[in-house]
Structures are given as structure tokens and as C-alpha cells.
């Protein structure tokens, strides 16, 4: 069965029609949209992105999922390799993880020094304010799951041959380091959520619900001409979506 023959709910269909209308506005008016997808391992970031882009024009969006820095990149300004991936005029960029690796994953796993972490936390909001002032629509989504749900999804990666490619050494340590992730995540929310680009926390134990509400949130914040013509609810459910502003 092909990708476009997969059955889905009327909600998804309507929201994806809205996404197409939003993308048309982005392309015709030269907007730049960057959407960051973050969360613990197995939180559903990649799957959410695939729902967002399912019917979009591939010429008008990119998915950015960077691997670990090369030796050359490790010697660059930390933001440099992300800056070059920012959206061009008329483009939407979906970041499957982002510069926020340095806020949570890297300090938990020992991939950065304490000084590197502190420098990042001091600089990131300044960088984002420059992006927003320059006209980029910046969204930061955090897909939240509980410890039992993560354990179940990690086991699926071990046993399901279609998901095994997702399993990494970082994944294997995710449960053991759960409290450390929580600690750094809380600091990140407190220090890097600001009115121009707040963190949007989505309850993600129910993947489909989180994806639908994530789409609703983004669509509700962009003023494209055909907005709401499907009749679909665009206001996000506050029981699932929490906007964090420090």
C-alpha cells in the first residue's frame, strides 16, 4: 500500500489541507518558518514530522536531522552548522532535533564540557531573538512521554525489525539516565523559553493526539489567507498543549 493510500481520520485530512494552504502562503509571500521537534528518545519526533509534511510540496520544505558533528564542525561556533540549515525565502524547515542537543542530550551523555553547556545556555536566547527579529517564524515543540511509555517504545525498537535502525547507544541509556534528562530539561524550559519563541510541551503518550495538537498549534499561530476554511478546529487542546513562557 502506498504512502498516500494509508487510511487516516478526517481530522488529519483537514489539518493537512490547512498545512497545504499554510505552505502556499509561505511560498507566495516569502515567509520563513522553522519548526523544532524535541523530546526524549522515542518521544515520536520523527513520526510527527512525517505527519506534518505528508502532503506538502517537497520543493517548499526540508527536514533537517543532523548527525554528530564532524571533526571540522566540532571546531566551529556551535550554532554554525544549524544556521546554514535555516529556512530560505518561501521555505519551511523541520528540525528533527536541533541546537538544543546541547541543552539536554550532550550534558547528560557527557558530549560537551560544563563550560560549553553554560556558554550555550547564555547565548541561545540571544541567537533566537536575532532570528525572530529578522523575520523567521520559530516554533519549539517538546513531545513529552512518561518513563513507562518510553520503556515500552524502547522495547519495540529492540524487537521490531522495522524500528531497529532507530536504536542507538544513547537510547539504551535513556531509562537509566531518566532523572538526569528531567533535570536538564527543566533548566532548559526555565532559561530558554521566551515570549517570541516559547517552548510548547505536548503530552505525547498518545502519539496521534500529540501530532494532531502540534499541527493545530502551528497553524493557529500563522495568519495564512485560507485559514480555517476546512472548518477544522485549529485552537489547540490545553489539556495536551502547554505553552511555557518564563
Whether the model clears a pTM of 0.85, i.e. scores above it, the answer is: yes
Q: What is the pLDDT of residues 21-67, one digit of tens each?
A: 999 999 999 999 999 999 998 999 999 999 999 999 999 999 999 99
pLDDT band at 245 (very low <50, low <70, confident <90, very high): confident
Q: What is the pLDDT of residues 91-119, one digit of tens each?
A: 999 999 999 999 999 999 999 999 999 99
Q: What pLDDT is attached to residue 155? A: 85
Closest CA to 193 of 97, 103, 62, 66: 103
Q: What pLDDT is attached to residue 112? A: 97
Is residue 166 predicted with pLDDT exceeding 70? no
Q: What pLDDT is attached to residue 3? A: 45
Q: How many helices (DSSP H) and strands (DSSP E) are in the chain?
A: 10, 6
- Beta-strand pair 241-244/136-144: unpaired
pLDDT band at 148 (very low <50, low <70, confident <90, very high): very high
Beta bridge partners of residue 201, listed in sequence order: 142, 242
Is residue 89 predicted with pLDDT exceeding 90? yes
Sort residue 110 into left (φ over 0), alpha (ψ -120 to 50) or beta.
left
Q: What is the pLDDT of residues 219-236, one digit of tens each?
A: 999 999 999 999 999 999
The grid coordinates listed for 179 are 532523572
3 vs 163, more confident: 163
Closest CA to 102 of 128, 75, 127, 124: 124
Distance between CA atoms of residues 99 and 105, nearest Å: 10
Q: What pLDDT is attached to residue 172? A: 72
Section 13-20 average pLDDT: 97
For 94, the 3-state DSSP assignment is: strand
DSSP conformational letter for 175: T
Neighbours of 48 (CB within 10 A): 26
The answer to whether 202 and 213 are in contact (CB under 8 A) is yes
Give percent above pLDDT 90 in the chain.
84
Is residue 7 predicted with pLDDT exceeding 80? no
Q: Mean pLDDT across the chain, nearest whole number?
A: 93
pLDDT band at 121 (very low <50, low <70, confident <90, very high): very high
Is residue 2 predicted with pLDDT exceeding 60? no
Section 192-215 average pLDDT: 97
Superfamily per CATH, domain 3-244: P-loop containing nucleotide triphosphate hydrolases (3.40.50.300)
The grid coordinates listed for 40 are 526524549
Section 171-184 average pLDDT: 88
How far is the first Cα of the chain from the last one, in angstroms, to the nearest whole number? Answer: 46
Amino acid at each position: 500500500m502506498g504512502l498516500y493510500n494509508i487510511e487516516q481520520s478526517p481530522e488529519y485530512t483537514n489539518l493537512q489541507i490547512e498545512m497545504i494552504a499554510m505552505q502556499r502562503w509561505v511560498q507566495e509571500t516569502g515567509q520563513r518558518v522553522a519548526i523544532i521537534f524535541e523530546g526524549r528518545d522515542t518521544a515520536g519526533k520523527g513520526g510527527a514530522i512525517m505527519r506534518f509534511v505528508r502532503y506538502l510540496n517537497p520543493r517548499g520544505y526540508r527536514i533537517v536531522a543532523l548527525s554528530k558533528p564532524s571533526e571540522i564542525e566540532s571546531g566551529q561556533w556551535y550554532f554554525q552548522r544549524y544556521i546554514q540549515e535555516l529556512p530560505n525565502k518561501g521555505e519551511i524547515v523541520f528540525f528533527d532535533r536541533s541546537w538544543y542537543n546541547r541543552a539536554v542530550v550532550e550534558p547528560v551523555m557527557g558530549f560537551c564540557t560544563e563550560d560549553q553547556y553554560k556558554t550555550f545556555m547564555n547565548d541561545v536566547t540571544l541567537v533566537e531573538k536575532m532570528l525572530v527579529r529578522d523575520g523567521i517564524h520559530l516554533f519549539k515543540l517538546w513531545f513529552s512521554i512518561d518513563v513507562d511509555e518510553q520503556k515500552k517504545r524502547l522495547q519495540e525498537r529492540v524487537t521490531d525489525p522495522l524500528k531497529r535502525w532507530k536504536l542507538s547507544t544513547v537510547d539504551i541509556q535513556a531509562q537509566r539516565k531518566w532523572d538526569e534528562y528531567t533535570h536538564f530539561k527543566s533548566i532548559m524550559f526555565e532559561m530558554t523559553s521566551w515570549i517570541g519563541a516559547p517552548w510548547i510541551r505536548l503530552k505525547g503518550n498518545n502519539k496521534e493526539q500529540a501530532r494532531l495538537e502540534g499541527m493545530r498549534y502551528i497553524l493557529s499561530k500563522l495568519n495564512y489567507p485560507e485559514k480555517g476554511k476546512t472548518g477544522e478546529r485549529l485552537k489547540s487542546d490545553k489539556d495536551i498543549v502547554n505553552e511555557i513562557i518564563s
